[in-house]
Structure 1
């Protein structure tokens, strides 16, 4: 089978651990039945021999496939990894969703994305990245009694993403250590209102409202201190057409959304200002994981 799993951007400002969207940027995996177990990696992680011996995708795939079939069949895996590791673009969620989806497919079972999501909770208990990785589009989700509850909507091609990827990774666990133990009532109310309006803006396709809703007082500024250039990215992007400009996940990538007619200009401005970073102009993915 051939599998494509999208990168994702989560939190989107105030939507901590519940809002996320999928990008038209993928890891690709080719899986074949084989007499000999083989692994090849190109792209992200290709120089890391540890990933061949302790590969999260293969471990989850084997565990899920054996649970579904009761068999220990042999496969070869060829990975073409485009999503950078530990950069806030959902690389681990892409792996988790891809591994479970491919196990269902090669077990000969129908693929129900609700089942995929609920199985993914074993490996990732926050739904903000796994939901758009599976479903595509913009997704608001939560977990209730070990079940992912969500509402998803497509993102129109009126808008595009411009993402800034620093060379420096940020560990999600380390990043979470920067979060406050307590929030004031004022800051809590601020985030609830912005998260609600962000959700409404995507659902109603009123992207202009993102100019007012995509702010946060819980995590962004605290996490961005690890890479101070991110504050400048946000300032420049908002002055040059970005409807929203937010830390992607826990970082270090910075996510910008703008009208498609403004995307190339914004990309060029950010490239000129931040030459050490990779700047990508991307469409959005509305289908989630793709397989054949």
Structure 2
């Protein structure tokens, strides 16, 4: 194959209490085109982040592709890469995970699909640092993932068909580093039990398709309370979405994006979220997305 085209979905991690272990793919995609280009590296970027994304050997897609060549013991042949991005950058929707997974999958196909899906997931986790975004980006659906004994252990769950996400993306970025810097080094036993019980209930609710349990199951004590001061109007947006009938409302990943899960009724919730952000002086974009069950697709 000379020219590979890959679609990689956005992801929402944590989903409330599932800090660094739970994520879900969403139907918003970055597109990676990759072809051999002997002796040189060429990178072109369109769409989200086009002005800011590196177009040299610091580019994340290129670094992921290079990791595939290293893994299979093949010399870097040079690549032509074109990125068409629809996932907002630095907003908590897994843009870096999509870049990593897209680079790995495209390079793997370009070199004859030598690496298994599980090995690609291991490499993606190595590059990203944790599997909560890269696992659903690669596999699709909602994914519970655990790093143990040097391996990613995971369980994919196909979300209920009626599940819909109303996504409010503020117009300011928030780096994962900044969002992690406000978290405490230690938490209380009470907060640990609070999140453990809700994470277990959330996974069970998704498996049993019990959407009525999402409100309680999505509550969090480990990261959202500490990140709230970084996002103007967050509490008001959550209250407004809940008041408009959302099943659950959480930060997406580290934020600042806020995601409301619904059973398909989205208009009133979207309007309520946008109005609440506006009252806090924040403009935002609203998208209504379905979970992406397939994950990364080679076209």
Q: Same fold (TM over 0.5)?
A: yes
Aligned to 2:74: 70
Instruction: Quote the residue 2:8 is aligned against.
Output: 5
The aligned residue for residue 199 of structure 1 is: 203
Deviations 1:194-250 (A, max 9, x none): 111011111111111001111011110111211121111101011112111001111
Deviation at 1:69, TM superposition (A): 4.9
The answer on 1:280 being equivalent to 2:269 is no
Contact 2:240–2:276 (CA under 8 A) maintained in structure 1: no
TM-score, normalization: structure 1?
A: 0.94
User: Is the CA contact (8 Å cut-off) linking 2:236 and 2:276 kept in structure 1?
Assistant: no
Give yes or no for contact 2:42–2:81 (8 Å, CA) kept in 1: yes
SS in 1 for 2:123: helix
SS in 2 for 1:122: helix
| Aligned equivalent of 2:216, options 212, 225, 250 | 212
Distance 1:145 1:78 in 2: 36
Gaps in structure 2 of 5+ consecutive residues: none
- Secondary structure of the corresponding residue to residue 127 of structure 1: coil
In structure 1, the partner of 2:93 is 89
Show the counterpart of 1:55: 59
Q: Which residue of 1 aligns with 2:258?
A: 254
Q: CA deviation at 1:47?
A: 1.6
In 2, distance between residues paired with 1:9 and 1:240?
Answer: 21
Residue 24 of structure 1, aligned match among 12, 24, 27:
27
Contact kept? 1:9, 1:90, Cα under 8 Å: yes
Q: Tell me if structure 1 keeps the 8 A contact 2:87–2:93.
A: yes
Structure 2 residue 132 is the aligned partner of structure 1 residue 128: yes
CA RMSD after TM alignment: 1.6
Where in structure 1 do 4 or more consecutive aligned residues deviate above 6 Å?
Answer: none
Correspondence list, 1:152-167, <5 A: 152-167=156-171
Q: CA deviation at 1:108?
A: 0.5
TM-superposition CA deviations, 1:240-277 (whole Å, max 9, x none):
121110011111111110011x1133223333443510
SS in 2 for 1:52: coil
Aligned-residue offset at 1:66? 4.2
The aligned residue for residue 268 of structure 2 is 265
Inter-partner Cα distance in structure 2 for 1:280 and 1:146: 37
Cα 1:111–1:157, aligned 2, differ >3 Å: closer, same or farther?
farther
Report whether the alignment pairs 1:222 with 2:222. Answer: no
Q: TM-score, normalised by structure 2?
A: 0.92
Give the secondary structure class of the aligned counterpart of 1:103.
helix
Q: Are 1:290 and 2:289 an aligned pair?
A: no
Give the SS at the match of 2:294: coil
Between stretches 13-22 and 171-180, larger displacement belongs to 171-180
Asked if the contact 2:165–2:259 (Cα under 8 Å) also holds between the matched residues in 1, the reply is yes
SS in 2 for 1:173: helix
Give structure 1 stretches of 5+ with no counterpart. Answer: none
| CA distance in structure 2 between the partners assigned to 1:124 and 1:10 by the alignment | 13
